[in-house]
Amino acid sequence: MWTIQDILQATGGVLQRGKEDQDVKEISIDSRTIRPGALFVAIRGKNFDGHKFLNQAVEKGARGVIVEETFLLEQPSPRIAVIKVLDTVEALGKIARFTRERTRIPVIAITGSAGKTSTKNLVAAALRSRYQVLVNQGSFNNQIGVPLTVLRLSPRHKIAVFELGTNQPGDIRRLSSIVKPDVAVYTNIGESHLEKLKSPGYVFQEKSQMLKDLSARGRVILNKDDKYLKRFYKKLNNDKIISYAIREAADYQATHIERIRQGKSLRFLVNRRYPVVLRTPVQENIYNALAAIACARLKGISYEAAAAALEKYRFSGQRQAVERVGRCWCIDDSYNANPVSMRSAVSTLDAFPVKGKRVLVCGDMLELGAWSKALHQKMGEFIARTNIAAVLAYGPMSSWLAEQVRKDNKAVFVAHFLALPALHRQLVRCLAPGDAVLIKASRGMHMEATAAFLKKQFEG
């Protein structure tokens, strides 16, 4: 797909060795999986430095390397191109931008404070009813993951769907300048990454940077129930906006919402006419499904085809995935957490139909900066008003949440822990047949270990 000359043009790098007319078959940052003919980009990360594996990449057949420092081959060869740049992460993004600009493939970019990954997966599922879709996998939504996904583009792809994440100012603009979206999808705006983004208002400003790279005829698909996203009506011509909602009147509105299949699935009508079924009890996923239907309709897919694809989709991946564990129900939402997604998860547990009690196992919500104490306390107030019978909180910041629940609702059993083994022992004592347990925390709390513990304990 590229030549060394293309790479030099894209990155502005300096060719220290090799020839410009050499072909490059693929771009890689992993020396363990690199294949002959690839270009290896030596990325510096928090826990690794690709420069330490340059010779390993060359031994496996790399045609060239991109580095930040002078690189001496252990076995010099004029066939190996060496390109020096100031920043290899930035160079990776520039190559991806160069690649994107050479294709006319339509791009849908999705961002928001919560629900981005679920929305991305549902949009991709709906579009696959008609198209070959490129989509970023897992958490590939950052300055490395998004470019790597763009670099996977091939002639067989007819449309691409990207999730764009941020935790500091400038992230969204850098990513959107790479993918150059034709459709910008916004899920919601709330208290996320406040350590660097300071307030929901600044979160909105950061997310809105995606519009600067929207194509001239691009469309914006937004959640009209979100008070911040409504501001786009003042920023844009209304004919560029496609809205979805549950409460507000919108282009795609969900009505007649009901729980089916013992409360484990949802059914609703779009615009009071088209039925949709989702295999999830999580009501927030209705918003995500509406966004997917809006994207599908924009790309010429019928309501019926989109709905059929959404009903087949199985929610998983530690994002409110519901699973029977022994004689209990486990809602595994351990992937990540902020106040927006925590409220959603707690609401799911609150409404979950069970014969026994509802148990919340929660950990710290990270990256909230100066807002940490207030937002954990506010979450405690919210939990105290639900039908949750027991709260097992883990982590130093969750002590504020636990104290608030204990203060506001003395009927709730509350325990706080600074070590997971102690929490796990209490959880075993707490659970009984017919109970439902929700596991929710920021990813840095590693509470996927609790989900694994439950499965081993009750299914072993």
Q: Which CATH number covers residue 376?
A: 3.90.190.20
Low-confidence ranges of the chain (pLDDT < 70): 71-77, 193-197, 317-319, 459-460
Contact yes or no for 147/179 (Cβ under 8 A): no
pLDDT at 457: 83
Residue 417 phi, psi dihedral angles, 5° rounding = -135, 150
What total number of domains does the chain contain? 3
Q: Do 221 and 109 belong to one domain?
A: yes
Q: Do 280 and 133 belong to one domain?
A: yes
Q: What is the pLDDT of residues 259-286, one digit of tens each?
A: 998 888 999 999 999 999 999 988 899 9
Q: Do 256 and 386 belong to one domain?
A: no
Q: Do 156 and 285 belong to one domain?
A: yes
Q: Do 300 and 332 belong to one domain?
A: no
d(CA 347, CA 280): 13
Q: Do 263 and 403 belong to one domain?
A: no
d(CA 334, CA 321): 10
pLDDT at 200: 82
Q: Which residues contact 264 (CB under 8 A, 6 or more apart)?
A: 279, 280, 281, 322
pLDDT at 197: 67
Helix or strand (DSSP H, E) at 330: strand 328-333
Contact yes or no for 29/144 (Cβ under 8 A): yes
Amino acid at 450: T
Q: Which residues contact 153 (CB under 8 A, 6 or more apart)?
A: 99, 100, 103, 105, 134, 160
Neighbours of 342 (CB within 10 A): 27
| Domain termination residue (choose one: 312, 341, 371) | 312
pLDDT at 115: 87
pLDDT at 86: 94
* pTM given for the model: 0.86
Q: Do 302 and 229 belong to one domain?
A: yes
Positive or negative, the CA dihedral 17, 22, 28, 30 is negative
Helices (H), 276-397: 284-298, 303-312, 339-351, 372-384
Q: Is 47 exposed, middle or buried (0-12, 13-18, 19+ CB in 10 A)?
A: exposed
Q: Do 231 and 141 belong to one domain?
A: yes
- Expressed as residue numbers, the domain containing 378 is 321-459
Does a structural domain hold residue 96? no
Amino acid at 207: K
